[in-house]
Amino acid sequence: MTAALTGLAAALPASWPASLAPDRLEVIDVPTPYLVTDLDAVARRLDRFTAALPGVRAFYAMKCNPAPEILHTLRAGGASFEVASLGELRVLERLGADPAEVLYSNPVKPPAHIAAAYAAGLWRFSFDSPNELHKIAGHAPGSAVYLRLHVDDSASSFPLSRKFGAEPHEARELFTLARRLGLRPYGLTFHVGSQCATTAAWRRAIGLAGRVLAGLLDDGVRLEMLDLGGGFPARYTAGVPPIEDIGTTVRAAIAELLPYRPGLIAAEPGRHLVAEAAVLAAGVIGREVRAGQNWLFLDVGAYQGLMETIQLPSGWDFPVRSSVPGHGLVPELTFTVTGPSCDSSDTMFHGLALPATIDVGDVLYLGSAGAYTLSYASAFNGFPPPAPLFVGRSGGT
């Protein structure tokens, strides 16, 4: 990869990095599929997040994309990290990160992972039940614990409340148990759901957390952290609240709805920091007509990184461009776009408008592809995941 990947292609979404415009990516002499990430774009996203949320410390949710190049970039920009497993912590350790600076926010953890993380120096663990407190007390004695609250996540693409979160009225009893077990009541956290579409969700959640904080004061419990969790959105094809608007809402809610300001206000951005910084290139391997519909077969599908396209009934709309000259200006047809596997559910897009002449050997470029692509990818049916490529401050091939 060279510095030739610069400039701006016409008619690209504002969320698409100029350095990754399709006409620039054509110089890449690497077989598809590949995922190319602009590390400078990642750094800019972190800077913008930090500016919009002053006084809020970013703990990158590495489940979203654990590429070492991205982790290095975010760490250099001042971010810390949030993990969901011991495996993720081990990746950070190999990069030189201090486990004492890491949050372990998965509310239900394997006992062996708790013990090993504690032995490595990690000291802050989330929980949402008495059972989890007993596990933490047994395998990480004396640790600091923060309670995951159940909040309204109905405005998100991927609600998480069915699986995790204690009810607010349970907080007093849970922290009482924590102290009885020799653990340190440390904080509250919540998650408004992945790809949250309204700033009001954060205000409601912070207001709920404020009521819990106030109630705990009656028991002499003053917590040290409020973790705003994740859910900060990225732009795909539909508009989302800009991070500046979210920041305005969050700052006002913290000032107005909390009985006191905990010493640490944390957040766990993931998708927001990396999605828009990457483009996935997928080669066309087949074009067919099935029952009067045009079908396009790609060398990457749901199982190689596009799992989110089949997780929602409404699908997942990536911004798409092609290598066909004059894309967006030439005649188009609608296509059903499917992956390379022999699984019929491996179908990512329905009614996607593409140049009528697109055929085998052409390339589709999917923007905003940096989140939950490689981290979901497998080699199902023997088709490999996209090759990771990087441009920018520490990238280049």
Cβ-in-10-Å burial (0-12, 13-18, 19+) of 132 comes to: buried
Q: How many CA atoms lie within 13 A of 147 on its CB side?
A: 30
Tokens of 324: 């066909």
Show the DSSP H helices in the chain as ranges: 22-25, 39-52, 68-76, 86-94, 111-120, 130-139, 171-180, 200-217, 243-257, 271-274
Could you give the maximum distance between any two Cα atoms of the chain, in Å? 70
DSSP H or E stretch at residue 298: strand 293-298
Query: Residue 61: beta bridge partners?
Result: 82
DSSP H or E stretch at residue 349: strand 347-355
Calculate ∠ Cα 252-256-260, nearest 5°. 115
Terminal C-alpha separation, the chain: 4
Q: Measured between alpha carbons, how far is 89 from 94 in angstroms, rounded to an integer?
A: 9
Tokens of 175: 């922290």
Answer yes or no: are the C-beta atoms of 279 and 365 closer than 8 Å. Answer: yes
Q: Which amino acid appears at position 247 of this protein?
A: G
The whole-angstrom distance between residue 13's C-alpha and the CA centroid of its chain comes to: 20
Helix/strand/coil for 288: strand
Give CA torsion, residues 104, 106, 112, 118, to 10 deg. 20
DSSP H or E stretch at residue 38: strand 34-38
196 is catalytic: no
Q: Measured between alpha carbons, how far is 359 from 380 in angstroms, rounded to an integer?
A: 24
* List 29, 331, 342, 382, catalytic entry: 342
Cα–Cα distance list, 161 to 86, 157, 229, 277, 341 (Å): 23, 12, 13, 28, 32
Residues with catalytic function: 342
